[in-house]
Amino acid sequence: MQNPLSDILAKRTLSLAIAAVVMTQSGALLADEEKITVTGQSLTADSVIDQESLENYQAADLEDIFKNDPNVNVGGGFSTAQKIYVRGIEDTNLNVTIDGATQAGYLFHHQGRISVEPELLKQVEVQAGAGLATDGPGALGGAIRFITKDPEDLLRDGEQFGGMAKLGYFSNTKGLKLNTSLFGRLSDDVSVLASVTRQDSNEIKDGDGNKQKNTSSKIDSGLFKVVGHLSDDQTIRLSHDIRNDDGTRNLRPHFVEAGWNQANKQKSRRETTNFQYNLNPDKNALNLQGNLYYTKSYMTQKSDTKDNGAGVKSLGFDLKNTHIIDTHSLTYGLNFRKDTGYYINRPADSTKKDEKQDVIGIFVQDQLPLTDQLTLNTGVRYDRYTLKDNIGQKFKSDGISPNVNLNFALTDEIDIHGGYARAYRGVNIKEAYLLNYATNDANLKGQKADNLELGFDYSSGALSFGATAYVAKIKRVSTRVSGGVIQNTGDVKNKGVNLFMNYSWENTDLHLGFSHNRPELDGEPLDDGNMAIGTASGDTLTASVTHMLPEQNLELGWSLEAVKRLKKVPSDRKEKPGYAVNDVYVKWNPQGNEDLSVTLTVKNLFDRQYLSHASYGKSSSSGQIIGLAEAGRDVRLTVATRF
């Protein structure tokens, strides 16, 4: 059943976006040739995770990366099995990129699909919920953008060459991690970075001291990047990023070992090659960025005689330009991606084929101060999907994704903001591991997400706080049903609220965050079994404090993640117990030497035994816990030197 309110909003938003484009184009000839800074509502993400935070807590996996963001839950127990949920919606419904390269596809519903090395990251941006036209095609639940380091991020002024070496130890898994990075200037205009990381970890131990069998890993990752300044206003970046994660795993890695879940040897691979071009002359009309990328990910599992597995590869191109016209900041462009889902060592008698898909989209997003107090941010995108699936069926689907957002400065300290956004995703290539088993319903349709938000922000001096309430709906979610057929099964409705507070004084910073959301599928709470859609989690409170002791060359930190017991679950499921996990760290620069640091971090300080609410919990049939518990206390020690 259609929602008349959302349809009216969508139509009016589209009209408003088109009108904004017409106004900006008509004013183009009047634009000043000097740069203009646009104030008001920005195009930034909901949250940004910086490099310093990743280093202080010695992030080793996705759970560590998002630990202090209450909007994001990560479950699975260990790196290979980890899945990301934003406001309860799984990352399969998000647009995830690494340096602008889309990480498309879905390998296997019993393990995570996102593979990234925290050591290589400069920052991570999270857009929760359907948002801006610039978030890319298919961003039903939002977007996550991983951004890797540039050589110029590491080189100091006047420095021609440098290097870093880090050696880390993890007590829980008796693991070792070694990272070596070399960076330098080949000339005044060209710089290079080469970074390699090796992490060997044994099986994790939970808070009760029990080993989670078949959770050991050998992870190799690397980043090679060249940055060249062709002129004062032209920059190119060429990068190649790889991550290999091998080990003896359970057939279904996010479940415990059992007779129905025996161990085998598994390989997980991802590699991304990206070429980026930026043109930014001192003119308002041109701030151009283009990305040409190729990314490939696959996994294999060792059977009695040979490996079998599946993968996804993508070749894509994105182009966008930001045009400053009077007080407008107008961004427009296009996206193109060609995806292939393939099966490795397909049985000789199989009639199934690989799947091929093209996605093309165009978009425009305009930021316009209407008055000194009121800023409008509106846009629209159009996406078209063309798919030839594994049994030769052809699907063509397209849709419009409009958005409109308003920000009103009530006072110098208080902003009120609200908005509506729609995101469309057409019929996609299916989960790669099902290419030899599942088929699409002939009437399969694309999906639409509507997101309505209202909130406020307060900022004065050292104190800032705010809140956002939202109502979201994803229509016609698709999933596999009995008989191995993928169908549109229903609608996901989600509502919730996010709160935050930051306070700084002298050498101390305090951060608080809170998230409440209740995603439901056709009136039933989302559950662990709704893989590739999402799962419900209890109310989440995050807190962190950092304190500097300059005279002692010390930095101290503490963080808390507290998750309330989840009572509202389907009738055939058990409640999810609550938990609170504390982490602490101390970072020391001996004799104030920035080129040498020692960081001691203790994860799960009180050795709490728990399952993340984002992990699979108990079996609906047996009532037994089949998901992997999280790691118990883990003392991490890293020594880093720069030369």
45-72 pLDDT per residue, tens: 689 999 988 999 899 999 999 999 999 9
Assigned domain for 386 exists: yes
Buried b / exposed e across 540-569, counting CB within 10 Å, b at 16+?
bbbbbbbebeeeebebbbebbbbbbebeeb
User: In this structure, what token pair is assigned to residue 60?
Assistant: 């080793």
Assigned domain for 588 exists: no
Domain of 522, CATH number, reads: 2.40.170.20
Task: State how far the Cα of 32 lies from the Cα of 42, in Å rounded to an integer.
Answer: 21
pLDDT digits (tens, 9 = 90+) for 346-400: 888 888 999 999 999 999 999 999 999 999 999 999 999 999 999 999 999 999 9
Given pLDDT bands bounded at 50, 70 and 90, which one contains residue 283? Answer: confident
pLDDT above 80: residue 402: yes
Across 230-250, average pLDDT? 95
pLDDT above 90: residue 210: yes
Assigned domain for 279 exists: yes
pLDDT at 620: 82
pLDDT at 304: 63
Assigned domain for 640 exists: no
Q: Are strands 414-425 and 439-440 parallel, antiparallel or unpaired?
A: unpaired
Assigned domain for 557 exists: no
Number of domains in the chain: 1
Percent share of the chain, pLDDT over 90: 84
Distances (CA, A) of 298 to 106, 109, 116, 247: 9, 13, 14, 15
What DSSP letter does each residue of 284-344 carry, written as one string? TT--EEEEEEEEEEEEEEE-SSSEEEEEEEEEEEEEEEEEEETTEEEEEEEEEEEEEEEEE
pTM: 0.91
pLDDT digits (tens, 9 = 90+) for 452-504: 999 999 999 999 999 999 999 999 999 998 779 999 999 999 999 999 999 99
Assigned domain for 201 exists: no
pLDDT digits (tens, 9 = 90+) for 596-619: 999 999 999 999 999 999 999 988
Assigned domain for 140 exists: yes
Across 75-83, average pLDDT? 93
Q: Could you list the residue range(s) of the whole structural domain that residue 278 is in? A: 4-162+210-540+562-579+603-629
Task: State how far the Cα of 273 lies from the Cα of 100, in Å rounded to an integer.
Answer: 11
pLDDT at 477: 95
Of 637, 642, 631, 641, nearest to 207 by C-alpha is: 631
Of 367, 335, 366, 449, nearest to 401 by C-alpha is: 449
pLDDT at 39: 29
* Residue whose token pair is 């694309």: 446
pLDDT at 326: 86
Assigned domain for 341 exists: yes
pLDDT above 80: residue 113: yes
pLDDT at 591: 84
pLDDT at 583: 98
pLDDT above 90: residue 621: no
Percent share of the chain, pLDDT over 70: 93
For the chain, how are helix, strand and coil distributed in percent, rounded to 5?
10, 55, 35
Neighbours of 451 (CB within 10 A): 25
368 beta partners:
376
Q: Are strands 142-148 and 95-98 parallel, antiparallel or unpaired?
A: parallel
How confident is the prediction for the chain on average, in pLDDT? 91
